[in-house]
Structure formats: structure tokens, C-alpha cells
Amino acid sequence: MSAPLTAAADLRRLVGRDLRRELRTPDSLMVNLALPVIIMVLFVYVFGGAITTGSSGLDYIDFVVPAVLLMSGGYGAALTAVTIADDLTGGMIDRFRTLPISGWVVPAGHVVASLVRNVVASAIALAAAVVLGFRPTASLAEWALVLALVTAYILAMSSLAVIWGLAVRSTQAAGAFSFVVLFLPYLSDGVVPAETMPPVLRDFATHQPITSVVDTLRALLLDQPMGSSAAVAAAWLGGAVVVSIPIAAVMFRRRTAG
Amino acid sequence: MNAIHSTSFTDAIVARGLVKSFGDTRVLGGIDLTVPTGSLLALLGPNGSGKTTTVRILTTLLPPDGGSAVVGGHDVVRDGVAVRRAIGLTAQQATVDDLLTGRENLELFAGLYHLGGRRGRRRARELLERFDLADAANRRVGTYSGGMRRRLDLAASMVSAPPILFLDEPTTGLDPRSRVELWAVIRELLAAGTSILLTTQYLEEADQLADRVAVISRGRVVADDSPEALKRQVGAERLVLRLAPADVPRASALLSAPGGAEHEITLAVQGPDHLRHTLDELHRAGIPVERVELRTPTLDDVFFELTAVAA
């Protein structure tokens, strides 16, 4: 077998290992699958009645679904920090390193497993949203773009999570990253309209990356004006991936060099 | 007092002058080791003596600051990939996945060794049989006992049937029965021609398994010999005599044995005659003995003896 094919086969095995582990950890599986539904219900029924959607004119459920998608997908993606820290603090990494596999396959396996896991979790969140009254108007092509965008968001967050997981020394500290990622959408235009926030926060919320992703998702799912948000979102996510993957690779090599 | 062996292609592992520091702490101060093909070398030493660091360097997990090492004919620094292909490692910390079953673990590693689906599954089955884990093959490793987990770890190291095996304190923390079972497995591997470097804190373990024992203390090899020679040097058994503190200096001079604690002297005994002779001598000199104790030599005794000789 050629080198790229061998690496792809190794990657597949490591992804399989991660997914198997996930399925055998009922608590984390529940969190991964139930959290999106819980957040969705919480926003639609508990907060929804009290929040106006400002100038967008959307129903609150339509307004909030993109942010909830990013919260649930991002939360799960951030847990990649824990899966990598588990390998590093346990002995597994020594076993992997004595195997004739490329070093990058190990973190890449965690990232790909995270993609699979969280795209599924996002689909569940979306299904829950539809049950609760979310009525997207996207065409097939727009759905494909939604999938691409959510996948890119999860990829970016998973890669950043690998860096975090490599930087900290314990699995507990690794878990802290998921709170950052879960919290970030609150400070965007995704949960309440940015125009209702005080000036400094409004500026942050308007310009932080999640707002551009939320706006793009709204445009695709609900026929809202796209503006420049798609280009901005693509730049943010593309930039995060392009920057974080080499950093993660170098850190992984350093961290495992003894 | 390091034994000098000639380096040849028949040596599985050759290390010369390995040096390693972590920050200001020098962990290895020039380690020389040779493991002839098909033999077992026990690296005997207490915690913190540099055993694990030595193993990590020889298994390419850690680069040395100085010195060189050739494992399976390949340089560990320049040709790590080739070294990794020739070795198996059972580290101190278990390196198997708790959430997978024993079989899944072995099939995963077989896959990552690129054995191919059917060959990998067959290899996993063989190893489960050989390491007495067939009954537990489909149970998650999290439910295994310490001994079973070590055996699985060892099986995982043998997936690719490597000619050279590193075992870092394989029996630490195991109950006596599991320890004896693991020894039997190690002997089988040795009989099948595997070259093994094993680290241990137990003199008995080195004695049971090793063709040769290298005693390591503070990052240096202080003795490198056969277990028999080492035991001869250390003495078969220890005689501990409890005396009145005032008598200790005189008894110590009389028996030319160093005084240990304030009211004790300890000396190696070379059989029953030597024991009787020692007690007679004290009796003639009018030194009363409060208590007599015989015990097998411990690692402490080995170190005491060897470092005393070296100093």
C-alpha cells in the first residue's frame, strides 16, 4: 500500500476507536445527544417568549436555531481537547508512538471522530428544532452549504480544541475549553439581537466570528439577506483551520518528543 | 567496573554513554548496556535511578542528550522508524484502551501494524490464547484484573512479533500469583528467541529471569554481571545482630563488618559454618548478642554493597 493509503487506513482505525469509545461512555453520549435538544427547548420555551428579535422580524425559534446549532456542535467539538488529553495523560500515546504510524494520524483521528460525532449531534438538534416549530426554507443546494458551514465550524473548533488539549496538563483543564465554546454564541447576534446590547458588547458581538456564521446560516436557512457574512465567515473559519492545524501538529510533536 | 562487551551484529541492544538531563537534573550520567540477541538483561534499580529514562531513550520515545544506542541494528536517533519496527514496549503505565475489549485492543494494534484484516484477527486470537486471555477476550479491559491487564499489554507489544522487547517494571503492583504467571510468559518469549530488556526493582525478579543483571544507581550502571555472580558478591543471606550500642564499634572491627544502625550490625553470611563461626567469635570476645536475624538480601543490600565497593 502507498503511504497516503496507509495513513488513511490508520486514520480510519483511530476514528473507529474514538467513536466506539464514545458509544461506550453513556454519560458523554447523553450529553452529546441530549444537550442540543435541551438547549433548543430552553431557548424556545423558557427565554423565547421574553426576547424580541429586533429588526429581523423573525420568530424567535427561527432567530435562535443557528446559534443553538453552533452551541451544540461547538460544545462537542471542544471535547476533542479531552479525548487528546486522555491519550496524553494515560499511557496510550506511548503505545501509539512505538507503532509504525505517522504521528499526525493520532490528533487527526480525534478531529475526524469529532466531526462525525458532532455533525450527527447537529442533525439531531436540527430535527428537534423542526419538531418545535422551526420551518427552514432552504433549497437542496442551500442545505449542502449549511452542512459545509456547520462542518467547517466543528472542524475549526476541534482543531483549536486539540491545541488546548495539548497545552494543558490534565483532562479536567482540557474540559474547560467546552465552556468557552458554549459561551461564545451568547456574545454574538445569535441569541439576542446585537442591536439591543450596550455599545462595547455590541461592537464585539457584531464583529466576532460567530455572528458572521450565524448570519450566513440564517441567510441559507431562512432566506435572510446574506450580505458579506458568508465571505467573512469563510475567512474566519478557513483562517482558524489553516492556522490551528500546523500549530497543533508542531505542538503534538513537541509534546510527545518527551 | 562496567563490563566491556564487544559490539557485534549479534547484539540486540547496545547503548554507549547515554546521557540525559531534565533541566538541571542529570538523570543519566553515561549508561552503557549490551543485550546479546536472545538473552534477557534485567536493569535493576530503585525508583528514580534512571531505568525508565533509559527505556524511553532506547525505544525512541525520548532523545538522548549524549551517547549513542543501537537497537536491532538501527540507531535510535537517526533511524527511529526502523527501531520502532523491531521493538515492542510494555511501559509502566498500562497502554491499552479500557473502553475496548481485549480483542478489540489487539485488533486495533494489529491494524496499526498493517497486518491486514484477516491476519490481524488471527494474530489477535493467537495472542489471546497464548497470554491466557481467551475467556476474557470480549470483555472491556476496564473490568480486567491488574495481572490480566499486564498480560494484555504484553500481548499488545507482541502483535508484530518483534525480535526485541522492552518491559518496564512489568510486575510492579501485581499480586504474587500474577507475578509468577507473568514470569512464565516472559520465559516463553525468551525461549522463542526474543531479546528482552526488563527493568525491575526486585532482585528476585532479576534472579528468576535474567541472563545478566545491570544494577543502576543515580543514572549510572554500578554493576553488570550474571545474577549468580551478583548474588555471590552480595552474599546469599544477611545476618542482622542486635547488640548493646556500646559493643557495636568493637563487634564491627572484630567481624570487619560496617555497623548499620546504632545497635545493629549487618553482614553477609556465606553458609552455616560462617554463621556459627561469627557467633563463636563474638562469644569469645565477650560480646553479648541480644537478637539474631537472618534474611534474604534486599535491593538495599545490593546497593549498599556495590556502592560501598565502588567508593
Distance, in Å, from the CA atom of B32 to the CA atom of B14, rounded to the nearest integer, reads 8
User: What per-residue confidence (pLDDT) applies to A258?
Assistant: 52
Shared domain check, B118 and B244: no
Question: Do B94 and A17 make contact, defined as CB atoms within 8 angstroms?
Answer: no
Judge whether residue A189 has pLDDT over 80: yes
Shared domain check, B168 and B72: yes
Distance, in Å, from the CA atom of A119 to the CA atom of A125, rounded to the nearest integer, reads 10
* Neighbouring residues of B221: CB distance < 8 A, sequence distance ≥ 6: B2, B31, B32, B33, B214, B215
Shared domain check, B181 and B83: yes
Cα(first)–Cα(last) distance of chain B, in Å?
11
User: What per-residue confidence (pLDDT) applies to A152?
Assistant: 96
The answer to whether the Cα torsion of B225, B229, B233, B234 is positive or negative is positive
| Per-residue pLDDT of chain B in tens (311 residues, 90 and over written 9) | 344 444 445 799 999 999 999 989 999 999 999 999 999 999 998 888 899 999 999 999 899 999 999 999 999 999 988 898 899 998 888 789 999 999 999 999 999 998 888 999 999 999 999 888 999 999 999 999 988 998 999 999 999 899 999 999 998 888 888 889 889 989 999 999 999 999 998 888 888 899 999 999 889 998 898 888 877 776 667 888 888 888 888 888 888 776 666 788 888 787 788 888 889 988 998 888 888 888 877 666 776 667 654 44
Shared domain check, B277 and B222: no
Shared domain check, B26 and B166: yes
User: What per-residue confidence (pLDDT) applies to B5?
Assistant: 45
Which cell goes with A12? Answer: 480510519
Shared domain check, B260 and B213: no
Q: B174, B207, B232 — which closes off a domain?
A: B232
Question: Phi/psi at B210 (nearest 5 deg)?
Answer: -90, 145
Residue type, A242: V
Number of domains observed in the structure of chain B: 2
User: What per-residue confidence (pLDDT) applies to B37?
Assistant: 94
CATH number for B292? 3.30.70.100
Distance, in Å, from the CA atom of B249 to the CA atom of A26, rounded to the nearest integer, reads 68
> Is residue B236 a contact partner of residue B270, using CB atoms and an 8 Å limit?
yes
Grid coordinates 453520549 are at which residue?
A: A29
Q: Is B5 part of a structural domain of the chain? A: no
Distance, in Å, from the CA atom of B34 to the CA atom of B114, rounded to the nearest integer, reads 31
Shared domain check, B227 and B242: no
Distance from CA of B104 to the nearest CA of A (A): 9
Q: Is B217 part of a structural domain of the chain? A: yes
> Does any CB of chain A come closer than 8 Å to the CB of residue B53?
no
Shared domain check, B251 and B223: no
Shared domain check, B178 and B51: yes
Residues 71-110 of A with CB under 8 A from B: 90-92, 94-101
Which domain does B283 fall in, by range? 236-310
Domain ranges for chain A: 3-255
User: What per-residue confidence (pLDDT) applies to B259?
Assistant: 62
Q: Is B43 part of a structural domain of the chain? A: yes
Q: B232, B255, B288 — which closes off a domain?
A: B232
Q: Is B292 part of a structural domain of the chain? A: yes
- What's this model's pTM, rounded to 2 decimal places? 0.81
Average pLDDT, rounded, for chain A: 88
Question: Contacts of residue A24 in chain B, CB cutoff 8 Å?
Answer: 99, 140
Confidence label for A45 from pLDDT (cuts 50, 70 and 90) = confident
Shared domain check, B260 and B214: no
User: What per-residue confidence (pLDDT) applies to B294?
Assistant: 83
Distance, in Å, from the CA atom of A141 to the CA atom of A146, rounded to the nearest integer, reads 9
Q: B232, B264, B282 — which closes off a domain?
A: B232
Q: Is B1 part of a structural domain of the chain? A: no
Question: Contacts of residue A95 in chain B, CB cutoff 8 Å?
Answer: 89, 91, 95-96, 109, 156
Q: Which has more pLDDT, A10 or A54?
A: A10
Question: Do A94 and B61 make contact, defined as CB atoms within 8 angstroms?
Answer: yes
Shared domain check, B267 and B227: no
Shared domain check, B133 and B190: yes
